[in-house]
Amino acid sequence: MRLFYCLTITILAACTSGGPVEVDGIRVEASLRNAAKGLGFDYTGFLDKSLRGDDAALKQLMSFDAGQDSAAATEHGLVMKSLLEKLGDELFSQKINKLPTEAKERLWAGLVAAGATSLKNESPETMKALMPEVAIAEHNGLYVFDAQSSSFRDCAEPDNRYLVVDETGGSLEKNYRRLLKFPYPHQPVFAAVKGFTTPYYGNIALPSDMKGFIVVSEILKVENKNFRNTCIPYDFWALGTEPFWQAQVSEAEGVIEYRGMDDDRTKVFVYQPPVHEDSLKIYTGVNQDSGDNIRIVVENKPCGDGMSDVKYQLKLSLTMNGKELNGCGIAYDATRDSTTATPPKKQ
């Protein structure tokens, strides 16, 4: 029996655990076999049976879990990549469809780690089978570009953040850089995109503070955040004329932002709850890195901008680095749709 097994499996290490072996041309490293053996799993036996058409063995092999052994997981991915090439995209994908979700997640991660990064183009049926059930839809929210982990905060669930997978060829980043020449760290822009959310994607690690992934396939709109489009609740948005300026105060985003129309830089401060003085609310902030400071005094009374007959809800004065400015404020309306927001109504 042992002789038959050694004839079936081409021996590179004399049928010992000291070296790699090949099963019908598929290389299995000794470290993978040993890791599997420690888990009570006859790796080469299952591989041999799988190549002989044993569906039960193939399902077991595809579902193999190396646990915390990252080297064994990568080596398993290499075997799966070779198996995909041998069986072909259509047959391999048919076998994947029978796997539970957690096994699909591990298998996808292993294939990507093994270098099968072009699954979408070279093995589309396998890619489709590995994906969880998804629905492509329009998503509106705040997008933040980061070289390591760009994020998206969806209007439909503003308390959650998603890790962005940009399948538009880098267009999201290009649009972000076009809008914000000098962004402050993690400065958001408003984006309307088409894509889908998913709990896992290949072998990309999901940060603990994010709910899942959003895979973006099409960009509909990317623009600077303003009171018309932002869907994350804010305390108020302030507008001023002569000179033009704007500011946002948002506890939900944790920021106070100010931008003069003559400056490409948005000045940012960490949100602090307001101090109440009689009927006034006073917000202050200091940016220790830039040395900027801000003070905003808000009064709950109608305000005109001096250039139109539009009446706003709040009257305020803003002092930026010692320069005092006057303006009007718009409180957040939780009932509105951010994609169809309109200016304040005339009083």
Is 143 a domain residue? yes
Residues 8 and 126 in one domain: yes
Is 8 a domain residue? yes
Dist. CA 21–CA 48, nearest whole Å: 12
Domains contained in the chain, number: 3
Residues 112 and 154 in one domain: no
Residues 10 and 93 in one domain: yes
pLDDT surpasses 50 at 179:
yes
Domain span at residue 18 reads: 2-130
Residues 70 and 182 in one domain: no
Residues 15 and 120 in one domain: yes
Query: In which band, very low, low, confident or very high, does the pLDDT at 4 lie, cut at 50, 70 and 90?
Result: very low
CA-based Rg of the chain, rounded to a whole angstrom? Answer: 29
Residues 243 and 211 in one domain: no
Tokens of 165: 């997978």
Residue burial 272-302, b: 16+ Cβ < 10 Å; e: rest: eebeeeeeebebebeeeeeebebebbbeeee
Dist. CA 209–CA 315, nearest whole Å: 37
Residues 279 and 320 in one domain: yes
Tokens of 250: 């948002």
Residues 303 and 201 in one domain: no
Percentage of the chain with pLDDT > 90? 76
- Which of these three, 223, 246, 261, is where a domain ends? 223
Minimal CA–CA distance to 281: which of 266, 296, 293, 261?
296
Is 46 a domain residue? yes
Query: What does the pLDDT read at residue 231?
Result: 86
Residue type, 269: F
Mean pLDDT of 175-202: 95
pLDDT 10s digits, 132-146 = 888 999 999 999 999
Instruction: Name which residue leads in pLDDT, 244 or 116.
Output: 244
Is 231 a domain residue? no
Is 230 a domain residue? no
pLDDT surpasses 80 at 264:
no
pLDDT surpasses 80 at 6:
no
Mean pLDDT, all residues of the chain: 89
Query: What does the pLDDT read at residue 13?
Result: 43
Enumerate the β-bridge partners of residue 299: 280, 315
Task: Find the CATH number of the domain harbouring 283.
Answer: 2.40.128
Query: What does the pLDDT read at residue 122?
Result: 87
Is 119 a domain residue? yes
Residues 83 and 124 in one domain: yes
Residues 70 and 126 in one domain: yes
pLDDT 10s digits, 24-76 = 999 999 999 999 999 999 999 999 999 999 999 999 999 999 999 999 999 99
Query: What does the pLDDT read at residue 334?
Result: 53
Instruction: Name which residue leads in pLDDT, 339 or 114.
Output: 114
Asked which of 174-183, 259-268, 272-281, 311-320 is least confident by mean pLDDT, the reply is 259-268
pLDDT 10s digits, 86-101 = 999 999 999 999 899 9
Query: What does the pLDDT read at residue 306?
Result: 72
Mean pLDDT of 279-290: 95
> What are φ and ψ of residue 326, in 5° steps?
-115, 150
Task: Find the CATH number of the domain harbouring 153.
Answer: 2.40.50
pLDDT surpasses 70 at 7:
no
Residues 38 and 111 in one domain: yes
Asked which of 96-100, 137-141, 306-310, 332-336 is least confident by mean pLDDT, the reply is 332-336
Query: In which band, very low, low, confident or very high, does the pLDDT at 347 lie, cut at 50, 70 and 90?
Result: very low
- Which of these three, 130, 150, 180, is where a domain ends? 130
Mean pLDDT of 5-23: 58
Query: What does the pLDDT read at residue 3?
Result: 42
- Which of these three, 223, 253, 268, is where a domain ends? 223
Percentage of the chain with pLDDT > 70? 90
Is 320 a domain residue? yes
Query: In which band, very low, low, confident or very high, does the pLDDT at 102 lie, cut at 50, 70 and 90?
Result: very high
* Beta carbons within 8 Å of 236's beta carbon, 6+ residues apart: 248, 249, 298, 313, 314, 316, 329, 330, 331, 332
Q: How many CB atoms lie within 10 A of CB 192?
A: 19
Q: Are 96 and 104 in contact (CB under 8 A)?
A: yes
pLDDT surpasses 50 at 167:
yes
Instruction: Name which residue leads in pLDDT, 117 or 122.
Output: 122
Angle between helices 89-96 and 70-87 (to 10 degrees): 130
Query: What does the pLDDT read at residue 282?
Result: 97
pLDDT surpasses 60 at 252:
yes
Mean pLDDT of 306-334: 89
Residues 176 and 76 in one domain: no
Query: In which band, very low, low, confident or very high, does the pLDDT at 339 lie, cut at 50, 70 and 90?
Result: very low
Dist. CA 237–CA 140, nearest whole Å: 19
Query: What does the pLDDT read at residue 304?
Result: 87
In angstroms, the Cα distances linking 317 to 269, 280, 320, 324 are 17, 11, 10, 7
